[in-house]
A = this chain, B = another copy of it.
């Protein structure tokens, strides 16, 4: 992420020995597991530390407070997600718009599906803490990648690429999140993906010069 994390949310120190790097990983993993198993409510410092097999004190050597742990957790997740989207955009540069759309939707959809539970759990933690800046930065990064991709399409030139891009990105991401928050059957979800793609393609058909 390109955001300079607020000073208060910055980790206390970086690991210097292999041992402590492992500890840090264990803490992250434990936090995620607790979040998954028992939700945000149960995400207490003691519980995370216990599951990570370390003491609370250790956690406080890396994070000045609980919130910074959660912040870091989200940072990690969004980093990976943004990376995936960017990779897709790079791979689709110069290809037909219809392909771009399919690839973008597929990437995002799969990222959510693969670990729908993690997605949901983390999303809750984002809401609870004030991590809007993180999400904002993620959005900007993705916007840049998709706008560039769309601009490179050989079979379409848009009057206002930025507008078309905003519309597509908002619709796609919003729809996918909405789809996963309702407890739909797998069949319904799959069908929805197809419809979403159809809708985006129809829209682009209209919008291209």
- Chain A interface residues (CB < 8 Å from chain B): 39-40, 123-124, 127-128, 130, 132, 135-136, 139, 163-164, 166-167, 170-171, 173-179, 181-184, 188, 191-192, 195-196, 198-200, 202-203, 205-207
Distance in angstroms between the alpha carbons of A9 and B205 in the assembled complex: 49
Q: How far is the CB of A189 from chain B (nearest CB, A)?
A: 10
The complex is assembled from copies of this chain, and their number is 2
- Whether B206 lies near A128 (C-beta < 8 A) is no
Find chain B residues with CB under 8 A from A199 CB. Answer: 167, 171, 199-200, 202-203
A187-B40 Cα distance, complex, nearest whole Å: 36
CA distance A135 to B163 in the complex (A): 31
Q: What's the Cα separation between A170 and B180 when bound, in Å?
A: 10
Q: Which A-B residue pairs are the 5 nearest by beta carbons?
A: A174-B178, A202-B202, A174-B174, A167-B195, A199-B203
